[in-house]
Amino acid sequence: MSDSSLLPPNPVLGRLTVVGLGLIGGSFAKGVRESGICEEVVGCDPDPTARRLALPLGVVDRVTDDLAEAVQGADVIMLAVPVLAMESVLTQLSGMDLGQAVLTDAGSTKGAVVKAVEKAFGQTPALFVPGHPIAGSEKSGVEAAKAELFKRHKVILTPLEHTSPQAVELVSKLWQVLGADVEQMALADHDEVLAATSHLPHLLAFSLVDTLASRSENLEIFRYAAGGFRDFTRIAASDPLMWRDVFLANRDAVLRSLDAFTKDLGRLRAAVDEGDATTLLGVFTRAKSAREHFSTILARRAYMEPMQTNVINFVAAPGGRVQGSIRVPGDKSISHRSIMLGSLAEGVTEVEGFLEGEDSLATLQAFRDMGVVIEGPYHGRVTINGVGLNGLQAPPGPLYLGNSGTSMRLLSGLLAAQMFDTTLVGDASLSKRPMGRVAKPLREMGARLETANEGRPPLRIQGDSRLMGMDYEMPMASAQVKSCLLLAGLYAAGTTSVTEPAPTRDHTERMLQGFGYPVKVKGSTVTIEPGHRLTACKIDVPADISSAAFFMVAASIAEGSDLVLEHVGINPTRIGVINILRAMGGDISLQNEREVGGEPVADIRVRHARLKGIEIPVDQVPLAIDEFPVLFVAAACAEGRTVLRGAEELRVKESDRIQVMADGLQALGVRAEPTPDGIVIDGGTIHGGSVDSHGDHRIAMSFSVASLRATDEIHISDCANVATSFPDFIGLAQAVGIQVRLEESA
Ligand code: S3P
């Protein structure tokens, strides 16, 4: 082999030689052969049965047991023999003329293979590309070979510093032809990661089956061993020889994983022994949520990066009316706070009606990461085993808060007061949002925290800072800033008071009181002192008025509509949408008004009405801050002009909601002119067309509602984040008569 003259970029290969016709080698050979990108696939295996079966199974074009003959004239040589057999094959190869052949392998550990290559060749040749397909089956042998074995599986290549990029590209292409996702990784990282995710589970499966099989009552045990045993031990039927080699070859990394596991298993043993229910539940709930998260990654519905990995578009057919009686999901703001305060309380807090959206789940996960045992959510029920104000533990890594600004801003205050350091990170949208508004006052209280450029996330918060209470006049009306400082104030020496320029949602104050923590509210100032305790309680989360708002506008604009929205929170700091729609002529009545757990609630009946344009009163802006996207749709359907001012805050929400809504409305033929702090909309006809939601949940849902009055279909792109606040929006919208659906093959 020589390094200099590499293969031409032409992807069509002359000859591929696969050495080792087991499950992996056989599947690779068969897949490449069936793809037709290679003129000839040659197999080489010392086992006569494998050779006999390979031809009729269509795995290769030609087969031999003579290595020299097999590699003669090969463009690519794939080594698919057990890791410890590599050395002898490589030694033989080093004595042959391989021409310009690219050499690659499919071994499960990479360090040992590279060592064997070095030993055989004196150095690792530039045309050697170490690789590992993360795919397999408990079945072995050429008879189990499947051309599609690697489809949608990862293949990790671990090229070395001097590995030829062209050779890497060629090997990548071959795997891609088989439908695999090819990634590159440093060699040492590969062996460490695989020790934990593949080698350790195999060791455990082999060990458990062996332990049970050697017990005298084994027949009985196996007879009753159903789902769990079968699932857990499937991989114990894997090829013993191959796995023996893996453990010998990846000794050190496997030992590290095994030691960590043994330690944790010891803790679980102690918990079982001592009847320690909390520890057991803590491990199980954390594991369950991690496993579910893992399943969504496997299903390519990654919860971690919905905006980047999950392309979901909506299409909404024109016309229709809305009717019926529905309950929209739980209030997002209250759901976040129930987890936060429930975690800090003493005792067990039971939550009903919790919003199972990605934003509030991000908060829930953050507290699990800080050692709080939380059961659920199950049908909106969450049980939080509070740890008390000083019971949080350092999380194992950065807290990932997805799309959720509320999580990041509120947590920053709470975490600035803890003894441990934390880092808060978010998705692409959250990473652009301003955090200076919380960082600045927190620093004045003595917190030590850093943001990235221009006050953006990530937030790096240093623990063990002594916070001092202070009087803070907020420059903007923000419930998130207010809540952040109140949470910091729980721990600060002296009194913390926050004065707001206009009323903002007061869920934090109400809920603190619900947990028995004294909070003083006088005019526009809220005051809190340290030294008290939160006592666990029951929380009934009302339906979210921000989610109900889409249906309130829908019923208002679509002729013949009559809709009841059940059990909606009508906290006076949240009812701007009702006030504004009524001022526009909306027909909205509140029925069955009651108070549930310190929050006012009602059923809201909305009937179609002829809306008229208005100047939106500036004092309503903070009370309807999240509802403007859909109120702009109402304005587009109203007679005359609607003007919004004093709402510059909308420019720094999940998207720039003024610009994005103006662009979308204009694309649908509506006259909508953005201004620095608002928008001017002239009611008129909504045409069909395509709009971009910019990954903003509320924009996506607003344009779905607009379809009720559109003359043609509306296509809405980038809608995956609807799941942050309103899982199953589409289902509920369809149930009442909005003709929106997922666009197929986005
Ligand atoms: C929220 C407050 C509001 C709102 C957000 C939730 C809260 O933000 O837009 O969706 O739960 O405190 P600001 O307080 O920043 O206006």
| DSSP for 22-38, written as a single string | SHHHHHHHHHHHHHT-E
- Regarding the beta carbon of 117 and ligand 1, being less than 6 Å apart is answered no
- Tell which atom from ligand 1 comes closest to the C-alpha of 483: 12
Nearest to 209 by CA among 183, 190, 184, 228: 228
- Tell which atom from ligand 1 comes closest to the C-alpha of 478: 14
- Tell which atom from ligand 1 comes closest to the C-alpha of 410: 12
Substitution site in 487, 625, 651, 699 for ligand 1 pocket (most atoms within 8 Å of beta carbon): 625
Nearest to 171 by CA among 114, 131, 121, 111: 131
Ligand 1 centre to CA of 409 (Å) is: 9
Given the residues 239, 427, 506, 626, select the one marked as catalytic.
626
Distance CA 739, CA 30 (A): 47
Distance CA 189, CA 253 (A): 10
pLDDT at res. 5: 41
- Binding site for phosphoenolpyruvate, residues? 332, 405, 433, 480, 657, 698
Ligand 1 centre to CA of 576 (Å) is: 14
pLDDT at res. 356: 94
- Tell which atom from ligand 1 comes closest to the C-alpha of 546: 10
**Which segments of the chain belong to CATH 1.10.3660.10?**
193-275
pLDDT at res. 4: 39
Substitution site in 408, 437, 480 for ligand 1 pocket (most atoms within 8 Å of beta carbon): 480
pLDDT at res. 12: 76
SS3 195: helix
Residue 43: in which H helix or E strand, if any?
Answer: strand 38-44
Distance CA 150, CA 178 (A): 6
- Regarding the beta carbon of 333 and ligand 1, being less than 6 Å apart is answered yes
Distance CA 104, CA 16 (A): 11
Distance CA 576, CA 377 (A): 30
- Regarding the beta carbon of 437 and ligand 1, being less than 6 Å apart is answered no
CA count, 13 A, side-chain hemisphere, 393: 11
Distance CA 391, CA 346 (A): 10
Cβ-Cβ contacts under 8 Å for 724 (sequence gap 6 or more): 306, 357, 358, 359, 402, 403, 404, 697
Residue 602: in which H helix or E strand, if any?
Answer: strand 599-607
- Tell which atom from ligand 1 comes closest to the C-alpha of 333: 11
Ligand 1 centre to CA of 213 (Å) is: 58
Ligand 1 centre to CA of 1 (Å) is: 63
Superfamily grouping for domain 8-185: NAD(P)-binding Rossmann-like Domain (3.40.50.720)
- Regarding the beta carbon of 725 and ligand 1, being less than 6 Å apart is answered no
Phi, psi dihedral angles at 523 (to 5 degrees): 60, -125
One-letter-per-residue 3-state SS of 622-656: HHHCCCHHHHHHHHHHCECEEEECCCHHHHHCCCC
Residue nearest atom 11 in ligand 1 by C-alpha distance:
333
- Regarding the beta carbon of 403 and ligand 1, being less than 6 Å apart is answered no
- Regarding the beta carbon of 78 and ligand 1, being less than 6 Å apart is answered no
- Regarding the beta carbon of 717 and ligand 1, being less than 6 Å apart is answered no
| pLDDT tens-digit series, residues 455-514 | 999 999 999 999 999 999 999 999 999 999 999 999 999 999 999 999 999 999 999 999
Architecture of the domain made up of 193-275: Orthogonal Bundle (1.10)
Q: Is 367 exposed, middle or buried (0-12, 13-18, 19+ CB in 10 A)?
A: buried
First CA to last CA distance, the chain = 45
Ligand 1 centre to CA of 547 (Å) is: 14
Residue nearest atom 4 in ligand 1 by C-alpha distance:
626
pLDDT at res. 304: 37
Substitution site in 333, 341, 510 for ligand 1 pocket (most atoms within 8 Å of beta carbon): 333
Pairing of strands 587-596, 381-385: unpaired
For CA atoms 520, 525, 529, 532, the dihedral sign is positive
Ligand 1 centre to CA of 445 (Å) is: 22
To the question of pTM greater than 0.85 for the whole model, the response is: no
**Which segments of the chain belong to CATH 3.65.10.10?**
314-326+543-742, 332-540
- Regarding the beta carbon of 626 and ligand 1, being less than 6 Å apart is answered yes
- Regarding the beta carbon of 504 and ligand 1, being less than 6 Å apart is answered yes
pLDDT at res. 682: 98
Superfamily grouping for domain 332-540: Enolpyruvate transferase domain (3.65.10.10)
- Tell which atom from ligand 1 comes closest to the C-alpha of 626: 9
Ligand 1 centre to CA of 132 (Å) is: 47
Residue nearest atom 10 in ligand 1 by C-alpha distance:
626
Residues of the chain predicted below pLDDT 50: 1-9, 297-309, 746
- Tell which atom from ligand 1 comes closest to the C-alpha of 477: 16
- Regarding the beta carbon of 479 and ligand 1, being less than 6 Å apart is answered yes
SS3 567: strand
- Tell which atom from ligand 1 comes closest to the C-alpha of 479: 14
- Are residues 26 and 137 in contact, defined by beta-carbon separation less than 8 angstroms? no
- Regarding the beta carbon of 406 and ligand 1, being less than 6 Å apart is answered yes
- Tell which atom from ligand 1 comes closest to the C-alpha of 332: 11
pLDDT at res. 295: 60
Distance CA 490, CA 585 (A): 44
pLDDT at res. 296: 55
- Binding site for 3-phosphoshikimate, residues? 332-333, 337, 478, 480, 626, 653
Ligand 1 centre to CA of 485 (Å) is: 14
Q: Is 744 exposed, middle or buried (0-12, 13-18, 19+ CB in 10 A)?
A: exposed
Ligand 1 centre to CA of 480 (Å) is: 5
- Regarding the beta carbon of 506 and ligand 1, being less than 6 Å apart is answered no
Would residue 427 show up in a list of annotated catalytic residues for this protein?
A: no
- Binding site, residues? 332-333, 337, 405, 433, 478, 480, 626, 653, 657, 698
Ligand 1 centre to CA of 573 (Å) is: 11
Residue nearest atom 15 in ligand 1 by C-alpha distance:
478
Does the domain at 314-326+543-742 match CATH 3.40.50.300? Answer given as no
Sheet holding 181-184, edge to edge: 131-133, 154-157, 181-184
Substitution site in 401, 476, 478 for ligand 1 pocket (most atoms within 8 Å of beta carbon): 478
Distance CA 338, CA 599 (A): 13
Give residue for tokens 């009405």.
609
Residue nearest atom 9 in ligand 1 by C-alpha distance:
626
SS3 613: coil
- Regarding the beta carbon of 478 and ligand 1, being less than 6 Å apart is answered yes
| pLDDT tens-digit series, residues 343-378 | 999 999 999 999 999 999 999 999 999 999 999 898
pLDDT at res. 239: 85
Ligand 1 centre to CA of 479 (Å) is: 6
